[in-house]
Amino acid sequence: MQATPLTGPAAAPIEAGPLAIELRNVARWYGNVVAVNDVSFGLGPGVTGLLGPNGAGKTTLLHMLAGFLAPSAGEVLVLGRSPHRDPGVYRQIGLVPEREAVYAFLTGLEYVRFNARLQGLRDADGAALDAIRRVGLEDAMDRPIGTYSKGMRQRAKVAGALVHDPQVLLLDEPFNGMDPRQRIAMMDLLGQMAEAGRTILFSSHILEEVERVGTQILVMVAGRLAASGDFHAIRALMTDRPHMITIRSSDDRKLAAALMTNPAVFAVELTPDGCSVQTAQLGAFRRLIAGASRTAGVRITEVFSEDESLEKVFEYLVRR
């Protein structure tokens, strides 16, 4: 993806140049419920992670991009055309839906070949075999999908979606159910496709999944685009936000006094749970805590953070 600059909520401008995916002020609501609210962004070739907690509107957004939902307002364009009610656009789009179900009675190879034939590929058998190899499913390709593990089914779905070598690949939680080795292989495959000029957008609610494969990310919270741009910049934003950490030790008062002298700490409070510390530099704080406890002659028994959940991180991004 040619970088869309890091921006705050609802302010991501559409970049200049050829874009595979464009959303302009897109909203989608169901009755009184707003699932996607005034989202604008543009994506070119590359891998982009669509990050957000459950209920953020990621699937709704992907379904609009895949032409299976009309926007209630705004404009969705894929390769310059609206995908809604336009089956022809699927020659250039591959979609991996979130739902796990695949035709259980087909073998992996039959399923991918089915996709290839519906795409009208001249050498459907060859393309299907190639796609099966790319996702590493050769050993199981003659088994019915009903006997597959969740991770294998995900790989079969991905093979079916990329069998026609689409320009745009949309994946909804593609790493669900995959073991770490399969995840890495799938991430590498997406990276290779991006290098070949494909535009790949995948959703996830797990930051670490996005970290490995997505150099660019879009962060959605409560239907809005909370941030978009370079992964590392947003990661830093997430990491360097104020953190609240509670420490239990053999002497909380002595530990609090020792921590207060450190510039990484900007507030310390003694609570019934222990010593509650606020820091904006989580990394630096982690490094100093052991030394501080040694200096104070205090034994630390427990350290925990109350705001480390992804939802909390997203809430922080929205507030900014």
Partner 1 sequence: MASFVAFSEIVGITLRQLMGRRRTVWLLLLAALPVLLAVLFRAAGRTEIDSYSRIVFDTIAITILMPLVAILFGSGAFGAEIDDGTIVYLLAKPVPRWLVVLAKAISVMAVSIALAGGSTALAGAIELGPIGEDGLKAAAAQVLGVVVGSVCYASLFLAVSLFTRRALVIGVGYMLVWEGALSFMLPGIANLSIRQYALGAANAIYPLPVQESRLSSDTAFILAAVLVAVTLALAVWRLMRFELPGGSD
Q: Which residues bind partner 1 (CB under 8 A)?
A: 28, 30, 35, 52, 54-60, 63, 66-70, 85, 87-91, 93, 95, 97-99, 101-103, 105-106, 114-115, 117-120, 124, 160, 172-173, 203, 205
When the beta carbons of 44 and 166 are compared against partner 1, the nearer one is 166
For the bound state, the minimum distance from the C-beta of residue 309 to partner 1, rounded and expressed in Å, comes to: 17
Tokens of 251: 């002497």
Strands (E), the chain: 21-30, 33-43, 46-51, 73-78, 93-96, 168-172, 199-204, 216-221, 224-230, 243-249, 265-271, 274-279, 300-305
CB 38 within 8 A of CB 25: yes
CB 3 within 8 A of CB 12: no
When the beta carbons of 103 and 316 are compared against partner 1, the nearer one is 103
For the bound state, the minimum distance from the C-beta of residue 269 to partner 1, rounded and expressed in Å, comes to: 37
When the beta carbons of 160 and 174 are compared against partner 1, the nearer one is 160
CB 65 within 8 A of CB 42: no
For the bound state, the minimum distance from the C-beta of residue 30 to partner 1, rounded and expressed in Å, comes to: 7
When the beta carbons of 102 and 245 are compared against partner 1, the nearer one is 102
When the beta carbons of 153 and 183 are compared against partner 1, the nearer one is 153
Residue 5 DSSP class: P
For the bound state, the minimum distance from the C-beta of residue 145 to partner 1, rounded and expressed in Å, comes to: 10
CA separation for the pair 307, 246 (Å, rounded) = 11
For the bound state, the minimum distance from the C-beta of residue 275 to partner 1, rounded and expressed in Å, comes to: 38
CA separation for the pair 237, 314 (Å, rounded) = 11
When the beta carbons of 157 and 183 are compared against partner 1, the nearer one is 157
CA separation for the pair 239, 229 (Å, rounded) = 16
For the bound state, the minimum distance from the C-beta of residue 276 to partner 1, rounded and expressed in Å, comes to: 34
- Strands 46-51 and 199-204: what pairing? parallel
